[in-house]
Amino acid sequence: MGMTMTQKILAKACGMESVKVGEIQEIDVDLVMVTDVMFPLVPDILESMNCKKPHSPEDVLVVIDHYAPAPNISSANQNKYTREHAKRYGFNVIENQGVCHTILPDMGYVSPGSVILGSDSHTVTYGALGAFSSGLGTTDITAAIATGHLWMKIPSAIKVVLTGKPGDNIQGKDVILNVLGQISAEGARYKSIEVVGEGLKHLGIDDRFTIANMAIEGGAKNCVIEQDEITREYLEGVLKKDFKFVTADDDAEYDEIIEVNLSELTPQVAKPSSPDNVVPVSEIVGTKIDQVYIGSCTNGRISDLRKAAKILEGKKVHEDVRVFITPGSQEVYMKAVEEGLMKIFIDAGAFVNGPSCGACFGGHFGIIGDGEVCLSTTNRNFVGRMGSKKGLVYLSSPITAAASALTGVITEYQEGL
Ligand SMILES: CC(C)[C@H](C(=O)O)[C@@H](O)C(=O)O
Ligand code: SF4
């Protein structure tokens, strides 16, 4: 029986020739990432395990990104605790560099075939480069920190085949929203989503990060995207070591195969209050919005900002709409400054934040009030996700978000808007 990409990675990580769906295996972990939200639990759990010396502290990254810069005194104290204890154990602390899932790949921590576990559910993002990556609860994460390995049930897989060529107003966000609409928020529970097909060659690396990032919104354990020349070019720019692509066997088994024909795909939007509540943008054109948010680990990368800037250039955002731009990382921020994108945003009347998780999870930098409607490029639109429980969040691509920022209502972008 052939293996999927995920099975191949996990087989290698547990030193086996092959693994089967449903088996429980002990896998070696290459990297553990913990954010400021969960890290404060780690020292006590390590104590309770009687672990004085974690397995390999140099392979543990503690990223302070959610409540960064600290928006209030309790976060400031929590971050202080995190810094002190992370350093005591010898972990690497990364702060104010941006969102974990944007910075880890760009810093060269992710390679095809590597096993990365994170305390954050969107750790699935790294599968865009052919890694096995998954978000876990803090107890499991701490066990991996303590021992360097973890038990794992080998997941079955859903294959997503991308065909055709997308139009200019289509981004990775439209692809994954469409997939979520097809499979539902439960559809991939504890499964891998493996994305393949000739349509991939039209999707840049940033689009692929967006797709992998939102696999968790379908309940997926992980997501692996087929690697190709686009992956190679990106990895050659960030990795200092050799890497080898992971491929699925021709006779690998999938629970389900779904197809997205990119030629026919139109801009998609997730309506409140679930990321799988997806309709084409055209169905809800004209819905009034109070705020537009462009950023997060889903859509805070440079190509996202470039696309938004192209639409906003020389224009003014609608007078009734607040527009927040939150780059995913310092690196993205700097590039955007160098390319003149920030000037375009500010001239258009948008507000630019420093890189952070920001308002994505209702933390700070633009949360919404009672009855307000936000069109956001983030990944979740649950009740209360971006602030008030009486607010509503719609999810879209940066192109749709930028077009809507100009009109004050949900808008399908067309040339010449
Ligand atoms: C706050 C944190 C636990 C959470 C996650 O795990 O995903 C956050 O990053 C999110 O996007 O909801
Ligand atoms: S940007 Fe949003 S989705 Fe991403 S890690 Fe931060 S809070 Fe979670």
Annotated binding residue 374: no
C-beta atoms surrounding 90 within 10 Å: 12
Nearest Cα neighbor of 13 from 128, 150, 135, 189 is 150
Which residue's structure tokens are 């990119």?
262
pLDDT value, residue 26:
98
Nearest to 185 by CA among 386, 374, 362, 382: 382
Q: Which atom of ligand 2 is nearest to the CA of 66?
A: 6
Q: Pinpoint the alpha helices (H) of 90-195.
A: 100-106, 138-147, 172-183
Ligand 1 site-directed mutation target among 122, 326, 385, most atoms within 8 Å of CB: 122
Full-model pTM: 0.99
Q: Residue 31 C-alpha to ligand 2 middle, in angstroms?
A: 19
Burial of 370 (0-12, 13-18, 19+ CB in 10 A): exposed
Which ligand 2 atom is at minimum distance from the Cα of 35? 5
Cα(121) to centroid(ligand 1), Å: 6
DSSP string computed for 63-74: EE-TT-S--SHH
Establish whether residue 120 lines the binding site of ligand 2, counting it when its CB lies within 6 angstroms of any ligand atom: yes
Beta strand 115-118 with 31-35 is parallel
Q: Is the CB of 379 under 6 A from ligand 2?
A: yes
Q: Which amino acid is at 2?
A: G
Quote the ligand 2 centre to 83 CA distance (angstroms).
Answer: 20
pLDDT tens string, the chain, 417 residues long: the values are: 899 999 999 999 999 999 999 999 999 999 999 999 999 999 999 999 999 999 999 999 999 999 999 999 999 999 999 999 999 999 999 999 999 999 999 999 999 999 999 999 999 999 999 999 999 999 999 999 999 999 999 999 999 999 999 999 999 999 999 999 999 999 999 999 999 999 999 999 999 999 999 999 999 999 999 999 999 999 999 999 999 999 999 999 999 999 999 999 999 999 999 999 999 999 999 999 999 999 999 999 999 999 999 999 999 999 999 999 999 999 999 999 999 999 999 999 999 999 999 999 999 999 999 999 999 999 999 999 999 999 999 999 999 999 999 999 999 999 888
ipTM score here?
Answer: 0.98
Residues 6 or more apart from 403 whose CB is under 8 A from it?
Answer: 311, 411, 412, 413, 414, 417
Nearest protein CA to atom 9 of ligand 1, as residue: 120
Is residue 361 lining ligand 2, measured as CB closer than 6 Å?
Answer: yes
pLDDT at 21: 98
Nearest CA to ligand 2 atom 6: 357
Q: Which residues pair with 191 in a beta bridge?
A: 156
- In the chain, the amino acid numbered 27 is I
The rounded distance, in Å, linking the Cα atoms of 376 and 225 is 25
**Cα distance between residue 199 and residue 164, in whole Å:** 5
Instruction: Single out the residue of 191, 229, 408 nearest to residue 317, CA to CA.
Output: 408
Nearest to 266 by CA among 205, 177, 202: 177
What local confidence, expressed as pLDDT, does residue 416 receive?
Answer: 87
Start-to-end CA span in the chain (Å): 53
pLDDT score at 1: 83
Q: Give the tokens for residue 263.
A: 């030629």
Domains, in order of start, for the chain: 5-261 (3.30.499.10), 270-407 (3.30.499.10)
pLDDT reported for residue 73:
98
